[in-house]
Each structure stands twice: as structure tokens, then as C-alpha cells.
A and B are shown apart, each in its own frame.
Chain A
Amino acid sequence: MCDTCGCNVTPGNAHLVDKKTVDVLTNLLQENDHVAAHNREHFERHGVLAVNLMSSPGSGKTSLLEATIEALGNELSMAVIEGDLETENDAERIRARGVPAVQITTGQACHLDAHMVHDALHDMALDDIDVLFIENVGNLVCPASFDLGHHANVTLLSVTEGDDKPAKYPVMFRAADLVLLSKSDFLEMIDDFDTNRAERHVRELANAAPVLTLSVKRPDSLGPWFDWLRESVIALGEGRVMNPRVQPEGATLHSGP
């Protein structure tokens, strides 16, 4: 008999066992959200705008960062946290452009969480940085559930993936503060991606996020993205409260007992 499975409770001693129900009402991601709030405070103390980039694998997150560093490198000081299951490849691409990058290899984990980002921050001199990009693991499902302590979610959808992706992955696209329809140079070659339809699918998730169409192969298409970035840096500097669009409900609406 043991204290683990209840086999020590017999009809003779059952009156000595008390059963009770405890009401809890806390978010299941409470631990993650606690560390995320800590990360966000840390970013704000150092005046760093933290942007979480999410998309399927191969939608062009790293290429967009390369083009952004190329264009804004003299104007904004940037750093990157790269999340992948394996390899240092993406961090090396960023470092080759003279920008500090920390690679997180998650092994089998399909997403970054606030603890991983917290650990990566130990290797980063935040005082020298205006914008920290956190390039999440390529995945349209899991990363949407984890607050990292960042300020905005930017979700890429490359035009070769199909314009109905927001309807197929609603949790991810509902969380987006900005949607970038990437690889738009392919629009000429494919006839089944309608940028208006993609935007309509985003609206049908009750999401008012701007939807921009761009391609790193067409530098003049990147202007609105750069403007969004500049405006976000200014907004943070002015002390505007910036949280990613979908905050964990439990933490904000239901405080524990």
C-alpha cells in the first residue's frame, strides 16, 4: 500500500481521508506568461522594440531580415534571435551582415517560449539595440500560443502557400499585428493567389491588422514595412503600451483567487 494511488484507503480508514475541490481559474500558460512579462519589462527598460516573426518554414523570414538590415542598417540598430530545431545557418546569415544574432536550437520543440528567449537575452547587449527581431520556428500552429514578451506579432504568408492560409490557421493569423504577403514577385507566375482574398480571410478572423504585399526582390515594395517598423520604434519610445494583439485571456480577464 502506498500514498500515491489511494490503495491505502480502506473502508476502515476512509473516514480519515478528506476530499475537497479547489477553484483555481488560472491560465495554463501562467509560468510562460510570467517570464514573458519579465522579458517585456526588460525590453522596455532598454528601449528595445521586440518583434516576433512567424510563418511557415520557407516563407522568407530570414530573407526579409537580410533586406531590412541592408536598407535600415544605418538608421536603426538591430539584433536577431533565431529559432530553429537545428543548425546555426540563419544566425550565420544575419551575422554576415554585421548584425548580432543568437541562435536558439530547440531540438524537437516546435516553438519558442519565453524561457528560451530569456536565456538568449543573456548573450545580448540590449543597450545598443533599437529593434530585436525574434525569428520564431517556422510553423503556423504552435508559436501563436506563446507570449515571448515581445511587442508585436508579424506573420508572413508567401504567395506560393495559397491565399486561404488564414482560414486554415485561424489562431496564428488572429494573433498577427501585421501580415506580410511575401514573395510577391511570384504573383505573375501563379494565378490562384488573390491578395484581396487573403486580406478578406484575415478580416474574417476579426483582425484589423494591416496586410502588406512585398518581395525582397523588389526593394521598392518594402517601403510600407519599413514605415511600420519606424512608427513602432517611435511609438515605443513615446511610451505607448504595446502588447502583441492576442493576449492570453486567462492572465488579463481572470485573475486567480
Chain B
Amino acid sequence: MHELSVCQGLIRQVERIAAENAATSVDRIVLKVGPLSGIEPELLRHAFTIAREGTVAALAELELSQGSIKVRCRLCGGAGEAAVNRLLCPDCGEWQVDVTEGEELLLLSLDLETSL
């Protein structure tokens, strides 16, 4: 359950960005949590309800997208989707592939409210 540590780091980043923008509250936090990131979205959601307490993001909505896993083959150039524990080329079936999508653990954007 390392999702709570990750979430606490997230909240510190959000608080810093909110302060930089003189925001009074954070409405929405948008993340990308790839299937190979090692983070379980449901556990992150639970951790978020704990970590946001008493912060500028106390009422923020958490929006998570997972995306898919994509690989590109170094041998034949084939590209496509792969399963989490079978990162194989969709064309030739070999394992010498680069993962081009699926490992992201990113804070994409924040919706902020500021007093004019």
C-alpha cells in the first residue's frame, strides 16, 4: 500500500501549485496512472480521500486515466498494444520491445479557483 505515500507527495505538489497561482481551492486533479506504473487506481482513490483532508484540495475531485500499454518492436518495427505481463511484439511475438506507453505516473492538470 505505497499509494498513500504517492498521494501525500501528490498533495504537496498540488498545494505548491495552488499557492503559486494564489488559488483559494482546487476543484479537480487530473492524473495519468499507466497500467505499468505500479499504482493501483482504486487504492490511490482511497488514499486520496485521506491525504486531501484539511488541504486546499479538500473538496477536489480526482480524475484518473489509465491508458493502455503500447510497445514498439526493436527487431521488426511492429507496434501495438500489449498485456501487462506479456510485453511482446504484436507482429513477430519477440520480447525485444520498447514500452512507448503505460508506465506514466503523471499529474496532468489542476482546475483551480482564485478570488478576483
Residues of A within 8 A of B (CB): 3-6, 15-32, 109-111, 113, 141-142, 144-146, 166-168, 170-171, 174, 201, 203-208, 246, 248-250, 254
Contact = CB atoms under 8 A, between A and B. Distances in A.
21 contacts: A5-B58, A5-B59, A16-B115, A17-B24, A17-B113, A18-B113, A18-B114, A19-B113, A20-B111, A21-B112, A24-B13, A26-B13, A28-B9, A142-B38, A145-B37, A204-B85, A204-B87, A206-B95, A207-B95, A246-B103, A248-B105
Interface residues of B, number: 46
A19 B108 contact: no
Contact of B17 (A4, A17, A24, A170): A24
A113 B105 contact: no
Given A5-B58, A24-B110, A145-B2, A204 B86 contact: yes
Interface of B: 1-2, 5-6, 9-10, 12-13, 17, 21, 24-25, 27, 31, 34, 36-39, 58-59, 71, 84-88, 95-99, 103-116
Contacts of A23: 108-109
Contacts of B10: 28
B21 to A, nearest CB: 6
B112 A145 contact: no
A145 B114 contact: no
A88 to B, nearest CB: 23
Contacts of A18: 113-116
B2 A142 contact: yes
A171 B38 CA distance: 6
Contacts of B25: 3-6
Contacts of B108: 23-25
A26 B85 contact: no
Nearest to B33: A28
Contact of A3 (B21, B24, B36): B24
A155 to B, nearest CB: 14
A30 B6 contact: no
A121 B97 CA distance: 37
A238 B95 CA distance: 31
B107 A17 contact: no
A31 B12 CA distance: 9
A22 B21 CA distance: 9
A250 B106 contact: yes
Contacts of B2: 109-111, 141-142, 145-146
A20 B5 CA distance: 28
A245 to B, nearest CB: 12
Given A145-B38, A250-B105, A28 B6 contact: yes
B114 A20 contact: yes
Given A17-B115, A21-B110, 12 more contacts: A17-B24, A19-B114, A20-B112, A28-B9, A144-B38, A145-B6, A204-B86, A205-B95, A206-B71, A206-B95, A206-B99, A246-B103
Nearest to A4: B58
Contact of B105 (A15, A203, A249): A249
Contacts of B9: 28-32
